[in-house]
Structure 1
Amino acid sequence: MKFEELLKLVNEKTGDVLFVDGKGEIFGTEERLWDRFPFSEVVKGFEDAKSAGKGYFEVEEGGRIFEFKIERVLDGVFLVLRRDVTCARRIHKIKKDILSTVSHEIKTPLTVVKGNLDFLLAYRNLCAEDREIVEESLENVGKIENIVRSLRKLFLEESGGEVVDLKTVVEGVIRNYRKKFEEKGLKIKLFLESAYVRCERILFEQLVKNLIDNAVRFTDRGEINVTLKMGENGVVFSVRDTGRGIPEELQRMVFEKYVKSPDSEGQGIGLSVVKEIVKFHDWKISLSSEVNKGTEVKVIIPTSSTF
């Protein structure tokens, strides 16, 4: 079968996958891409693909939203993918509405609490111990506000970020877990290099907390190794423990919501949040584990994000 005949067959059998030539003509037909989809965005998207190799656009038709991706696969041959994203856009709007409501409901009482604490510091003659308590409460109010802002960015995919000293963040999380390490008699080994990355600080901190928390929870004896270093493909952050390990049949699903081992007392959402944070930043994550020997979770931050 000739190559052109194969492309014609694919075009005839599929509606959302098409192959077109350099003139925009759909293989096996006398139509051009913009004849079948008569939108100005189609012409521009195809021109982008011709000049840059890739084109992307969305169109609305009959109350539905379609996403188009055009990519050059060979000289004079372009692959066109069309996807109905109506449901995804509606879910996004629902998430946005819910988060807006929740963040507003949280922000209002936090503002009152913060105002009262500021008043106590400014207008009450507090003893040193009481002042320390109020200042600590104010600090935690600020942390809650940061968490709410970062959740909006995570689930609504809002762009942003700042250059963050990852080593400082990791060290801060470890300090807060020292007591838990001591209570379980676990050794903590740190191999931390300086690394500056543009990211959402509060989200990276949450990622570290979730991985450390999992390691502590499922390790009854031995040690936990936390590594932050520059690798060939960017910054590598990993947490390795000598704990119970994860059964092989669960490993491919462990980053999904509510997936957990039968003996786990958690809700099965810790690693799913880690995966969402990784996805938000366009990083990569991997997991290796062996029952009764331990688990290692590794996050790779590409060089393009480092400073």
Structure 2
Amino acid sequence: MDRRIYLASLLVLCSVVPSALGGTIAELFTSFYSLSVAVLSLLLALLIHRTSDGEAKTFMKYLSLTLAFQFLFLSLTTKMLLNRHFVLNLEVFVAAVLSYFSILAYGIRKLAAEFKFLTPKRLAIPVLVSSAVLITIMVYSKPDAMLWLLLLDLAVVFIFLSLLAIYAKAENYIYWLMVSVAFLLQFPAKLLMSLSNYDVSYLYTIPAALYNLSLSTFLFCLYEIHRRKVKIPSLSELEERVKNYETLLDRINELKEAFRLMNQALRYDVLKKLQIISGYVESYEITNDSRFLQKAIENVKECAEYVEKIGSLDSVISADKVEIRPVNVKRVVEELRANYEIPIIVKGSCVAMADEALSLVLENLIENAVRHSGTDRIEIVLSEVAGEAEIRVIDYGTGIPEDVKKRLFEKAFRYGETAGLGLGLYIVKKIVERYGGKVWVEDTKPKGATFVIRLRTTQTSEPQ
């Protein structure tokens, strides 16, 4: 059996059994147990305060003050009980009231900080329990000093049940549960003390058992907090963690899909190309026709391009973070233009916030136009529009049907007889999105397609 269950069982037995047995020895044990558990709880709270940081350290500071005044209250009441005479005098009342102030101050501050997360649904249980406590006070309590302590119990219970409702699914729920349960147990103990007119013999029964259970709750929960090193992040921090986990999950799914595409490309597309190459080589060996050899060479080049595309996809998907800088887009285009025989006309200039992968974006768009559109020329128009760098890659080929445009940037989407792996435009989209930009396709008048990229620009940084 878990040692926590042993500890909880022992604390419950020590709290309840002596009160049920009665007698002088049982009363002495009850008084000793109350003071001992209060001291142990205080020492444990101070230890956690010393070894923790952040919000947990702050909480333990306030709780330590509460436990210190609880110990003072218990010391005064125990002294009177052992003398067989109990009176809720000013000294005892002040010690009791002071035990609430620090924990209430913390609870109000914390609830105010997380108030925006307190929805009507989360308020249901705190309101229901607090209403029951309030009705009990109104029906049974006497108009004496104890009434003020009962009202303070009500305030603590409502505040910390509200915090418990907010943090119900977080690990730090134990902080709010501890205070809520402890003061919920103290409430009937104080009410019964008042109703019994502070009869000493009765105070050692149910009220003492409830109060000791309250102190045992503090001790057990503090032990768990210390053992598990539970911290208190704000709900905003928890929501940020959830978003980060969701982002990480999306990234893992994206990587899985990328690896699936790469596996598919290697197993089917590249293998298919290799079979075609093998066929052309065999035909060349039989016929000695150089045309078959040329076809084999062309397919080898296409196969190499496939592998390069797969590598590009891997680098784009696997990149953890992007260090963008001002890039002279015209200089990048001029370097790429030398690799193509088709006329590429460059107009204008702009500076975009990007990195070396921008060259891969433009190369994919140019390659897409050359291979699939049937255009006789390409125009690349660079400008700044509405504070953004705009890149237009224009071809005058066959154009792209409307239904195809909607799916053009999807993973592994292929269209037409000249379709490749379906990764080129997907890679373009992923890189542009990494820069915080947008990419889309328009029609070229009178015919053709225009790919438009919008990226952030800078007026102050020097292009590299």
TM-score normalised to the size of structure 2? 0.38
Structure richer in strand, relative to its length: 1
Task: Sort the Cα spacing of 1:253 and 1:91 in 2 relative to 1 into closer, same or farther, 3 A.
Answer: closer
CA drift of 1:293 comes to 1.6
Contact 1:287 1:295 in 2 (8 A): yes
State the one-letter code of the partner of 2:434: F
Matched position secondary structure for 2:450: strand
Q: 1:189 aligns with which of 345, 348, 363?
A: 345
Give the aligned residue type for 2:455.
I
1:256 counterpart letter in structure 2:
E
Structure 1 residues 275 and 214: alpha-carbon distance in aligned structure 2, compared to 1, 3 A threshold: same
User: Equivalent residues in 2 for 1:69-84 (5 A)?
Assistant: 83=246
> Residue type matched to 2:347 in 1?
F
Q: Which one of 170, 175, 180 corresponds to residue 338 of structure 2?
A: 175
Write the distance in 1 (CA, Å) between the matches of 2:439 and 2:460. 17
Instruction: Write the deviation string for residues 198-249 of structure 1: whole angstroms up to 9, x where unpaired.
Output: 4221x10000100111111234344321011111131001101111111211
Identity of aligned residues (%): 21
User: Are the aligned partners of 2:344 and 2:378 in contact in 1 as well (CA < 8 Å)?
Assistant: yes
Structure 2 equivalent of residue 237 of structure 1: 391
Q: 2:119 aligns with which of 14, 20, 26?
A: 26
Shift of 1:148: 7.2
d(CA) in 1 for partners of 2:117, 2:323: 37
Relative distance call for 1:33 and 1:234 in structure 2 (3 A) is: same
Aligned partner of 1:36 in structure 2 is 169
Distance in 1, matches of 2:257 and 2:425, equals: 24
Q: Give the distance between the partners of 1:234 and 1:248, measured in 2 at CA.
A: 27
Compared CA separation, residues 163 and 303, structure 1 to 2 (3 A)? closer
Paired position in structure 1 for 2:435:
281
Q: Name the structure 2 match of 1:166.
A: 329
Tell me the residue number matched to 2:240: 57
Q: Which residue of 2 aligns with 1:73?
A: none
Structure 1 residue 262 corresponds to structure 2 residue 395? no
SS in 1 for 2:421: coil
Task: Give, in whole Å, the separation in 2 of the partners of 1:269 and 1:150.
Answer: 7
Please give the alpha-carbon distance, in whole angstroms, between the structure 1 residues aligned to 2:250 and 2:437: 26
Q: Which has the larger helix fraction?
A: 2
Query: What are the residue-to-residue correspondences of 1:117-136 with 2, within 5 Å?
Result: none
With the length of structure 1 as denominator, give the TM-score of the two structures. 0.55
Aligned: 1:157 with 2:320: yes
**For residue 212 of structure 1, what is the aligned residue in structure 2?**
366
In the alignment, the residues of structure 2 paired with residue 281 and residue 37 of structure 1 have an alpha-carbon distance, to the nearest angstrom, of 35
CA positional deviation for 1:175: 1.5
The residue identity in structure 2 corresponding to 1:211 is L
Structure 1 residue 155, shift from structure 2 partner:
2.4
Point out 4+ residue stretches in structure 1 off by more than 6 angstroms.
Answer: 93-96, 147-150
State how far apart, in whole Å, the 2-side matches of 1:267 and 1:150 are.
11
Runs of 5+ consecutive residues of structure 2 not aligned to the other structure: 1-113, 124-161, 173-229, 263-309
- Number of residue pairs aligned between Structure 1 and Structure 2: 205
Counterpart Cα distance in 1 of 2:251 and 2:313: 21
Which of residues 389, 398, 406 is equivalent to 1:252? 406
Report if the CA contact (8 A) 1:161-1:200 is conserved: yes
Query: Aligned to 2:355, which of 172, 194, 200?
Result: 200
| Secondary structure at 1:210 match in 2 | helix
Deviations 1:258-300 (A, max 9, x none): 2122322422221111011112211111111379821111110
Q: Secondary structure at the match of 2:429?
A: helix
CA distance 1:291–1:37, shift in 2 (3 Å): farther
How far the C-alpha of 1:162 sits from its partner, in A, is 3.9
Q: Which whole-Å CA distance do the structure 1 matches of 2:311 and 2:235 have between them?
A: 37
* C-alpha distance in structure 2 between counterparts of 1:218 and 1:205, whole Å: 20
Report which stretch shifted further, 164-173 or 296-305.
296-305
Does structure 2 retain, via aligned residues, the 8 Å contact 1:207–1:277? yes
Cα distance between partner residues in 2 of 1:290 and 1:29: 56
Q: Output the CA distance in 2 between the equivalents of 1:288 and 1:93.
A: 31
Q: CA distance change for structure 1 residues 210 and 244 in 2, over 3 Å: closer, same or farther?
A: same
Q: 1:27-47 deviations in whole A, cap 9, x for unaligned?
A: 32325432333458984352x
Q: CA RMSD in A?
A: 4.0
User: Which residue is 2:140 aligned to?
Assistant: none
- Shift of residue 160 of structure 1? 2.0
CA distance 1:224–1:155, shift in 2 (3 Å): same
Cα 1:305–1:249 change in 2 (3 A) is farther
1:154-212 C-alpha deviation (Å, 9 max, x unpaired): 523323244322211111011211x2x1xxxxx432213142x34221x1000010011
In the aligned structure 2, how far is the partner of 1:168 from the partner of 1:37?
A: 53
Structure 1: distance between partners of 2:364 and 2:247: 34
Q: 1:176 is paired with a residue of what secondary structure?
A: coil
- Kept in 2: contact 1:34–1:42 (CA 8 A): no
Q: Would the alpha carbon gap of residues 291 and 263 (structure 1) be closer, same or farther in structure 2, given more than 3 Å must change?
A: farther
Look up the equivalent residue of 2:234 and give its one-letter code: K
